[in-house]
Amino acid sequence: MAASLIKLFITAALANAPVASNGTVTTTVNPEVTRYNALLTVTMISPTETTILAEEFLDDDGNPVPVNSLPAVPTDGYFNVYVNGVLQQEGLSTLTTASLVLDTIGASVGTPVVLEVADFSNTSSVITTPQTISAPAIDVTT
């Protein structure tokens, strides 16, 4: 005689879904914003672009910027370029630690250029009050 297998049949239904309540996350943002300025000279201007070397900039305190010491483009931030006080489109400039290159023709000697770099990488978040999460209620029928 062949043996047969008897299986248990159970139905489960979620009676109450878990609920999360309260909880607080504190985020601290410490942006580092640096600004540099330069006046365009004849040696910076070519027929296709304008290149301002790091050492041709002054920092916010009026000190010369050392060679290759401009900030790199921040991963968590941005940079703005102002030419003669006018904010320029993002795609018209390239920033490296060595220079700022403006994709421009017809630049004028003596025009002021301001470079502003904002870095938000010094941002942190912590859970200061954990959430309370209720356990789900499940009805089991056999």
Higher pLDDT residue, 119 or 25? 119
User: Is 45 part of a structural domain of the chain?
Assistant: yes
- Alpha carbon distance 77, 107 (integer Å): 28
User: Is 26 part of a structural domain of the chain?
Assistant: no
Q: Taking Cα atoms as reference points, which of 9, 40, 29, 4 lies closest to residue 114?
A: 40
pLDDT of residue 1: 62
* DSSP notation for 112-127: EEEEEEEE--SEEEEE
User: Is 10 part of a structural domain of the chain?
Assistant: no
User: Is 11 part of a structural domain of the chain?
Assistant: no
Higher pLDDT residue, 66 or 130? 66
User: Is 68 part of a structural domain of the chain?
Assistant: yes
At which residue do the structure tokens 């139905």 appear? Answer: 11
Q: pTM to 2 decimals?
A: 0.72
| Domain around 40 | 31-123
User: Is 71 part of a structural domain of the chain?
Assistant: yes
* pLDDT, averaged across the chain: 91
The count of structural domains within the chain is 1
Residue 110, token pair as written in the block: 């003596």
User: Is 4 part of a structural domain of the chain?
Assistant: no
User: Is 54 part of a structural domain of the chain?
Assistant: yes
